[in-house]
């Protein structure tokens, strides 16, 4: 086991156990409404299959308007804070996330929440014991895909009806799910396997077990290539699984964010940019010394790359790697989580500084909200972020 991966999982487990509480949910169906893609949806980890955490559709929230953000809704029953990845997606009239089970966190469920009523539209159990895995769903064309313990699932996103289930190795736990075109992609932590499934039938189209340890993040897909990290960057033909290239092992873990022909990778103490088609190094910039492990997931919009560390939120020039600005959280326990970018604003959640909206160009903090906040997403001109014991929504 790689030491910084151990530190990352232990730190997240401590933070999660400190704020997570058991939730007893009554399941009932709300009035059906199509959960198809709409303007400004955030349908999977990092917004899209390239996982760059950049919402290109946002036009209302901007550096000139986010100072007026305030809490417009809370969902006390929608609490995705568990294990490694307390992360939500929003598509159409629904929000989706994995949630803890009703008995001291045992059992994990994938759940749909009606955004208008706040009611649980449906839920299904996807794991039978408490684990620290990234059961983050992906939604496309009215279907929700999510990997759980030893299986990949497809559900009708509106009704929760099971479309298909594909069981894999019994010791597998899936990381975040990616859907692109007619394929569903995910990696498993325990069995170190990358899977590509047929989105319609669940058939395994290809699988690969790259050498090394450990697969802790999603499969990113862009321009016909599939990217995954396990200490090295492994790149496959997204349709066939044929290996295109593998880099040397350089402590590359979690999420490869692909944007504008560049793969951005956050390591324990640096940000690295590689050519997306060859893996050739373009530049590397230092983040912080010591235990800087936090999200290891950069947000990239083609101009700026933003990363969170245990103390700092840092923005870099995407072309050169030059540091643009730094926000000091004041403590090595601030722990900035996965940031997002939309329309010139960076949104960042943290354990120590709550949720902040920052001018992407200057680094000025334009809005802040106290609390313990995880990873914000931008959907429908609102910010959805799990803060304290439930989902909080900020809007104008």
What is the arrangement of strands in the sheet containing 262-266, beginning at the earlier edge strand?
257-259, 262-266, 270-275, 281-286
Distance (Å, whole) CA 71 – CA 48 = 26
pTM of the model: 0.90
Sign of the C-alpha dihedral computed for residues 9, 13, 16 and 18 taken in this order: negative
Q: CA gyration radius for the chain?
A: 19
82-98 in b/e form (b: 16+ CB < 10 A) is bbbbbbbbbbbbbbbbb
Q: Is 328 exposed, middle or buried (0-12, 13-18, 19+ CB in 10 A)?
A: exposed
Q: How far is CA 38 from the centre of its chain?
A: 19
Mean pLDDT taken over the chain: 88
The number of distinct structural domains making up the chain is 1
Q: pLDDT at position 31, please? A: 38
Banded model confidence at residue 118, pLDDT cuts 50, 70, 90: very high
Closest CA to 132 of 173, 76, 95: 173
Asked whether the predicted pLDDT for residue 16 surpasses 60, the reply is no
CA distances from 393 to 69, 123, 150, 239, 351 (A): 10, 21, 33, 38, 17
Containing structural domain, residue 321: 3-395
Asked whether the predicted pLDDT for residue 206 surpasses 80, the reply is yes
pLDDT above 70 coverage of the chain, percent: 87
Banded model confidence at residue 108, pLDDT cuts 50, 70, 90: confident
Instruction: Give the total residue count for the chain.
Output: 396
Asked whether the predicted pLDDT for residue 120 surpasses 70, the reply is yes
CATH number (domain holding residue 258): 2.130.10.10
Asked whether the predicted pLDDT for residue 296 surpasses 90, the reply is no
Q: pLDDT at position 82, please? A: 61
pLDDT digits (tens, 9 = 90+) for 275-293: 999 999 999 999 999 877 7
Residue carrying structure tokens 């208008």: 116
Bond from prior residue into 214 cis (ω within 30 degrees of 0): yes
What is the arrangement of strands in the sheet containing 194-198, beginning at the earlier edge strand?
178-180, 183-187, 194-198, 204-208
Banded model confidence at residue 238, pLDDT cuts 50, 70, 90: very high
Within 10 angstroms of residue 361's Cβ, the number of other Cβ atoms is 15
Distance (Å, whole) CA 95 – CA 239 = 30
Q: pLDDT at position 170, please? A: 84
Sign of the C-alpha dihedral computed for residues 199, 204, 205 and 210 taken in this order: positive
Q: pLDDT at position 7, please? A: 40
- Mean pLDDT over residues 143-158, rounded? 96
Q: Range with the lowest mean pLDDT among 117-131, 161-175, 267-281?
A: 117-131
Banded model confidence at residue 103, pLDDT cuts 50, 70, 90: low
Backbone angles phi, psi at 19, to 5 degrees: -120, -10
- Mean pLDDT over residues 73-99, rounded? 87
Distance (Å, whole) CA 235 – CA 258 = 12
pLDDT digits (tens, 9 = 90+) for 34-45: 444 456 999 999
Q: pLDDT at position 131, please? A: 61
pLDDT digits (tens, 9 = 90+) for 312-360: 999 999 999 999 999 999 998 999 999 999 999 999 999 999 999 999 9
Asked whether the predicted pLDDT for residue 3 surpasses 80, the reply is no
Distance (Å, whole) CA 35 – CA 141 = 8
Q: Range with the lowest mean pLDDT among 105-109, 119-123, 163-167?
A: 105-109
pLDDT above 90 coverage of the chain, percent: 76
3-state secondary structure the chain: CCHHHHHHHHHHHHHHHHHCCCCCCCCCCCCCCCCCCCCCCECCCCCCCCCCCECCCCCCCCCCCHHHCEEEEEECCCCCCCCCCCCCEEECCEEEEEEEECECEEEEEEEEEECCCCCEEEEEEEECCCCCCCCCCEEECCEEEEECECEEEEEECCCCCEEEEEECCCCCEECCCEEECCEEEEEECCCCCEEEEECCCCCEEEEECCCCCCCCCCCEEECCEEEEECECEEEEECCCCCEEEECCCCCECCCCEEECCEEEEECCCEEEEEECCCCCEEEEEECCCCCCCCCCCCEECCCEEEEECCCEEEEEECCCCCEEEEEECCCCCCCECCCEEECCEEEEEECCCEEEEEECCCCCEEEEECCCECCCEEECCEEEEEECCEEEEEEC
Q: pLDDT at position 37, please? A: 44
């Amino acid at each position: 086991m790689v030491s910084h991966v151990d530190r990352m999982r232990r730190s997240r487990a401590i933070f999660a156990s400190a704020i997570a509480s058991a939730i007893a949910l009554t399941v009932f169906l709300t009035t059906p409404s199509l959960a198809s893609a709409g303007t400004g949806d955030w349908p999977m980890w990092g917004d899209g299959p390239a996982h760059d955490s950049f919402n290109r559709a946002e036009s209302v929230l901007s550096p000139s308007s986010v100072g007026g953000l305030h809490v417009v809704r809370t969902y006390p029953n929608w609490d995705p804070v568990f294990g490694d990845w307390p992360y939500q997606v929003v598509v159409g009239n629904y929000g989706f996330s994995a949630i803890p089970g009703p008995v001291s966190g045992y059992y994990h469920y994938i759940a749909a929440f009606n955004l208008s009523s706040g009611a649980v539209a449906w839920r299904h159990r996807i794991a039978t014991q408490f684990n620290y895995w990234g059961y983050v769903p992906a939604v496309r064309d009215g279907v929700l895909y999510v990997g759980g313990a030893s299986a990949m699932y497809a559900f009708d996103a509106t009704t929760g009806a099971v479309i298909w289930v594909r069981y894999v190795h019994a010791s597998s736990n899936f990381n975040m799910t990616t859907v692109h075109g007619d394929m569903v992609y995910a990696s498993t932590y325990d069995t170190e396997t990358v899977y590509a499934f047929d989105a319609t039938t669940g058939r395994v189209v290809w699988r690969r077990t790259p050498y090394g340890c450990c697969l802790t993040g999603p499969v990113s897909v862009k321009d016909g290539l599939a990217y995954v990290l396990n200490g090295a960057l492994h790149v496959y033909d997204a349709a066939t699984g044929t290996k295109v290239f593998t880099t040397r092992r350089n402590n590359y873990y979690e999420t490869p964010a692909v944007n504008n022909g560049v793969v951005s990778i956050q390591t324990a103490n640096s940000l690295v940019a590689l050519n997306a088609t060859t893996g050739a190094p373009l530049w590397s910039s230092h983040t912080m010394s010591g235990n800087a492990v936090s999200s290891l997931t950069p947000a990239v919009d083609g101009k700026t790359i933003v990363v969170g560390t245990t103390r700092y939120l840092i923005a870099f020039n995407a072309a050169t790697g030059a540091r643009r600005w730094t926000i000091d959280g004041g403590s090595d326990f601030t722990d900035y989580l996965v940031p997002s970018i939309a329309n010139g604003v960076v949104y960042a959640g943290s354990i120590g500084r709550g949720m902040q909206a920052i001018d992407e160009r200057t680094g000025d903090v334009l809005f802040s909200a106290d609390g313990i906040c995880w990873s914000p997403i931008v959907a429908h001109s609102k910010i959805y972020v799990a803060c304290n014991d439930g989902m909080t929504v900020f809007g104008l």
